[in-house]
Structure formats: structure tokens, C-alpha cells
Amino acid sequence: MSECRAQPLGNPWVSRCCSGRNYPAAYADMAAVVVRRVRNLLKRADFAKVPRRHRYKKKWATTEPKFPATRLALQNFDMTYSVQFGDLWPSIRVSLLSEQKYGALVNNFAARDHVSAELEQLNARDFVNKAHCHGELEPESGQTAALPPVSWACSPNLRCFTFTRGDVSRFPPARLGSLGVMDYYLMDAASLLPVLALGLQPGDTVLDLCAAPGGKTLALLQTGCCRNLAANDLSTSRTGRLQKVLHSYVPQDIRDRSRVRVTSWDGRKWGELEGDTYDRVLVDVPCTTDRHSLREEENNIFQRSRKKERQMLPVLQVQLLAAGLLATKPGGHVVYSTCSLSHLQNEYVVQGTIELLANQYSIEVRVEDLTHFRKLFMDTFSFFPSCQIGELVIPNLMANFGPMYFCKMSRLT
């Protein structure tokens, strides 16, 4: 075993190590000094023109994302929806990126006949009334006109005006009417379809599990069928918006008479809190909100910081739908809805939830056939022809509503 041998003190230039090799120690020291000086020069060059108070260390992942969330959303949609929709995707894509059409939901607590007359003067039409007339006057071939079956009976007393296909006119902003409430509520007209499909009947107890910002809750109240209405949303800020909508459109005595209860509970636990309670349940779940994700940076779920939240959406949606079905009485009805085109958030969630309830709770759920319901509204909306479960409104430049997916279910046991 060799040992290091110290060199005479008079020779500072050479040190000898156990390997027997000679190293110029002074040169190494000089090289270290040079490296330090070069580094200092580089630092001065980098910051020579930048005051010290403005110097910072860049953090690319958090402070400087490479792409905005809207662009990330478009890239994601191009990759997934081009496969899901095939040749239809280019037209859906350009429609999503174009200006959206709206409908004017008439407030039945205002002077509704006067409001309807004013909207007709704008050359808008009540698409709900037109659909009812179409269903009564044009029965299926080989059949006579009959009362509609319960599976596709529409919720009553709703009036919603839209402009005809290809007409991109805008409604003026709603204003305060003579009765102290707003005349109409502007919304994506396709958002009314889940409420219509729910088929409310007088005296129903109703739950709106994910109620904010309040358009569908308002429509539920407009039917005049709610003996009790529970409107819930986990976010307290969003329930604040819901409260503002109700106060602007619904008189206090009506809110009291309908026993409207606004809560901010975790909707996933509703089956435990109020199981087997409601006749009708609307489960309008959080989703990728496709149109918003392509147009707005604020609260965009495609922000890099929300990646995990976005990936977990189908799990949350299954939990919410399961809770809604558990809160429904046997024999009651549930409508599940999203404003997403993704079949992972639509059909797959419905199928997964039905299997979950069958396996874990021995609860049988049946999906209702909405074919006739779809036919009633084909003059107003464009429907995806290959939806396996439920119905999907797809954006179209001639009728730029949606996207809106909805599926009606009956709890049998």
C-alpha cells in the first residue's frame, strides 16, 4: 500500500500524491482564480444595464408559462375531438371560436306577455312553444296524435326566445320591469334543455345539486312546479352569484312560497345527507366548459396549475351523479348535464355511475330514450347524430349554441 510523500517545503510548484504523479499545484490555484474572475465578468455583463432592485431569478414553470391556457385548451381539443368527431370537428372548432348565440328566458314573475311581445318585435321566436306545437301537429308517421309519454314530457310554463338559424342578432341587456324584477334572463338557449328534459310536475321536490351561477335554477322556478327547491353549490362565491340572480328575478314572496333553500355543501355527500328524498334532481356538474376554455384566461381549467384538477374531473362527476341518484326517490328522475363535448365526461360518466350504483348499492337505474325530445328541438339546435347515451348539442355556425350534453335517468329501485 503506497503512501503520499510530502515534498520539501522549498518546492512550492510540485506536489506528489500516492499515484506517483506530479501536479502543478500553483497552476491549479491560478486556474481557479481565473474561473472566478470570468464568472464575475459574466455576471457584470448580464446585469450591467439592470439595476440591482430589478434583478430576479426567472422561474419558467410558474411565472412564465410557454402558452396561455386558451391555447393549451385548443391543442387538447384538436388532439382529442378530431378523433371523437372526425369530419365534424373542423366545423365545431370554428363555431366554438366564433361568437356564441343566446336565448332570452322570459321571467314569468314579470309582465311576461308584454315582455314576449317586445321580444317578438325583435323578430325572435319562442323555440319552446314552437317545439310543443310541432310535437302536437306532426305525430310520427303511421301514428295519431297522443299525449306525450312521461319519458320525454317537457317541464311546463317555460318561454325562451331565440333568433332564427343564421341570424346573429343580439338581444339588448335585460332591464328592470314594471313589477320590480328583471324582464328576461340571457343564457345559452341549449342550457334550458336539461331543465325541459327533467319533466317537472306540479308539487315536485327538486334538487339542483350544482346550481351556480343560477340560470337553470331560475328556469326550475319558472315552471311553477317546485314544492321545495334545494339549490346547492360548493363554492360560496358562486352561491353568492346565485343569490343575486334569485333576488333580481324572483319576488321574495315567491321565493318563500317555493321554499327555496340555497346551500354550499359538498354535493358528493348529498346521498348521505338527504337520501331517497327528491322527485327530480338536476346534476349539472363542473366540467372543462369547452367554449369558456377557448375564449377566457380567467378561471380557465387548462391553466398549468389546474392540470391535476382537470384530470380528476371524471371522478368528481361520477361522485356527484351518484350522490344525485342516491338523493332521488325510487321512481324519481335525474338529468345529468355538462357543457363539454368530451365523451369521457359525458357518456362514460353515466355508464360508470350506473355500474357503481348497481354493484355497491344494488340500485337499478334506467337511461331514458330522448329521441323524440331531440326531434322536437332539431329546428333550433344541432345535435350530434352518434351520441350513444343521452343527447349532445354541438356548436354550428348557423345555430351557435352549446356544447350541451344531457342524459335523463330514472331510478327504479
The catalytic residue positions are 339
- Residue 85 · residue 313 · CB < 8 Å: no
Q: What is d(CA 218, CA 227) in angstroms, rounded to the nearest whole number?
A: 14
Decide: residue 4, CB within 10 A, 0-12 exposed, 13-18 middle, 19+ buried. Answer: exposed
- Nearest CA to 76 out of 311, 297, 285 is that of 311
Q: What is the dihedral of CA 29, 31, 32, 37, to 10 degrees?
A: 130
- Say whether 15 sits in a helix, a strand or coil: strand
Give the E-state strand segments of 28-162 in sequence order: 103-106, 125-126, 160-162
- Nearest CA to 133 out of 116, 154, 102, 106 is that of 154
Kindly report the number of other CB atoms within 10 A of residue 156's CB atom. 16
Bond into 12 cis (ω within 30): no
